Amino acid sequence: MSGSGGTDGTSGTSGTSDRALRPPHALAPLREGLRDTFWFAPTVGLLCAFVLWWAIAEIDTRIVAHLQAEQAYAELGDLIAIVVDARTIVTTVSSAMMTFIGVVFSISLVAVQMASGQLTPRVVRIFVRSRISKLTLTVFLATFAFSLLVLSSYEGGAEPDPRRVASVPLLQSVLTLGMVGLSLLLFIAYVSSTLRLMQVGPVLDHIARESFRALGQQPGEEPSGRAPLAAETARVTHRGRAGVLRSVNVPRLVRAARRQGVVLRLIPRIGDFLLPGTPVLAVHGGGVPAPYALRYTVDVGVERGLRQDPAFGLRQLSDIALRALSSSVNDPTTAVQCLDRIVQFLSVAVHLPLGPMHHRDRRGAVRLVQEVPGWTDLVDLGFEEIRGCAVGHPQVTRRLLAGLDDLLLLAADERRKPLIRHRALLVEAVERTVPEAAGRAFALHPDRQGIN
């Protein structure tokens, strides 16, 4: 990103709000980036398997050296007998584990493909970010690598001589068997997790929980007043690759603004598509921070994420509902389940100010202003497209009316307008489309279960 010439200043006082929660951790972007990868955990697991084998091999060598020094050949012979029996199991594990890994994850990829086809392609990110999936693959690969390393520790043929053997991999063999047992337990948990990914309810619940975590970072209290921002003096443009703005490194931006003595305003919202050369940050009250201070402050990727973008959760729920209401799927019950979660999300958001977020430094001075979707934006995102496809599905219209009525009871007077508008448009669409009076009355009867 680079600074450009000054432009007309803007103020950001109306509807502003402060973050009521603790500031985001500086390592949060790195942690989220690693969660979006599928290679980091298995790679660390392989390295740990090698280090563990080296440490256990040293312990085995010292045990054998101690027994030889004590000339305890009877005890050493018993250990060798145990290890010879375990060697067959370790050999079988090393030869079968890789095939087992391939079969398991091939089936899993088919399951993910089916889920993405039935719900939305964005459910693939749930599989990629799944801890149980990464842990299972990590343990499987670590078991495979560890068993190969243990085989290299066997010496002396099928019946080694206790007086000449240099190492007896007793602890290595026992640990290999333990890792096989752990792999079997994780396999059961992994299959259970994959089957849940193919079910509508658990997927919607996962999306809702992630959305609530992102919504929890939104402001929690309305400020009594806000001084206007200073005049805009410069802009910082995006110099990286084109892509979706996934998140910003808030602590780093606040620190850069504090050192420069300015206020930074994020121009695009999280989830916007950025092109190289487009403005990203507006500088108020001074010069542009040094380029190195703004490095790695903007995370641009190929798709949206939920860490700082709670509206992405509504987007996913709406997509699943629209696919369920399409003529090729025709599954209004799934659409009703999506509406359950949308109404749940909006029932929490209705109590939040949802104005621009003001991030402060340690002294309490505002250093970063970030736009977030307003209440009307969230209501339109949750209901607009579903309402357009709900006509002809009385189960969906009844649930949608019940959800709007519930939100009208919770909303303050200034937030009732978009809800009333969606309700009126839905009633008009049903009255225009359904010719029979009895059919219209049935479709316009609020019901939280749709048709119970």
Is the pLDDT assigned to residue 98 strictly greater than 90? no
Q: How confident is the model at residue 312 (pLDDT cuts 50, 70, 90)?
A: very high
Answer yes or no: is pLDDT of 407 > 60. yes
pTM for the structure as a whole? 0.79
427 pLDDT band (50/70/90 cuts)? Answer: very high
For residue range 118-149, what is the model confidence (pLDDT) as tens digits? 788 888 888 888 888 889 989 999 999 998 88
**Do 5 and 234 form a contact (C-beta atoms < 8 A)?**
yes
Residue 164: band (very low, low, confident or very high) from pLDDT cuts 50, 70, 90: very low
Is the CB of residue 446 less than 8 Å from the CB of residue 400? no
CB-based burial, 67-81: b 16+ in 10 Å, e otherwise:
bbeeeeeeebbebbe
What's the pLDDT band for 78 if we cut at 50, 70, 90?
low
Return the pLDDT at 86: 67
> What value does the mean pLDDT take over residues 221-238?
74
Structure tokens at 67: 């027994």
**Mean pLDDT confidence for 400-415:** 95
Higher pLDDT pick, 23 / 105: 105
Q: What is the pLDDT of residue 106?
A: 83
Averaged pLDDT, 417-434: 94
Is the pLDDT at 84 greater than 90? The verdict is no
Is the pLDDT at 114 greater than 90? The verdict is no
Report, as an integer, the average pLDDT of 17-38: 59
More confidently predicted of 380 and 177: 380
Inform me whether the pLDDT recorded for 35 exceeds 70. Answer: yes
Q: Determine the average pLDDT of the residues in 185-211.
A: 88
CA–CA gap between residue 141 and residue 143 (Å, rounded): 5
Please check the confidence at residue 227 and state whether its pLDDT lies above 80.
no
pLDDT > 70 in the chain, percent? 83
Does the pLDDT at position 155 exceed 60?
no
Out of 224-228, 277-281, 305-309, 378-382, least confident range: 224-228
pLDDT at 156 over 50: no
Query: Measuring CA to CA, which residue among 72, 84, 68 is closest to residue 170?
Result: 84
Kindly state the average pLDDT of the residues 260-271. Answer: 92
Return mean pLDDT, the chain. 82
Predicted confidence at residue 128, as pLDDT, reads 81
**Using an 8 Å Cβ cutoff, are 276 and 242 in contact?**
yes
Q: What is the pLDDT of residue 163?
A: 44
Pick from 60-64, 167-171, 428-432: least confident: 167-171
Of the pLDDT bands very low, low, confident and very high (cuts 50, 70, 90), residue 451 is confident
Higher pLDDT, 411 or 174: 411
Confidence bin at 11 (pLDDT 50/70/90): very low
Residue 396 has pLDDT above 90, yes or no: yes
Question: For residue 13, what pLDDT is reported?
Answer: 33
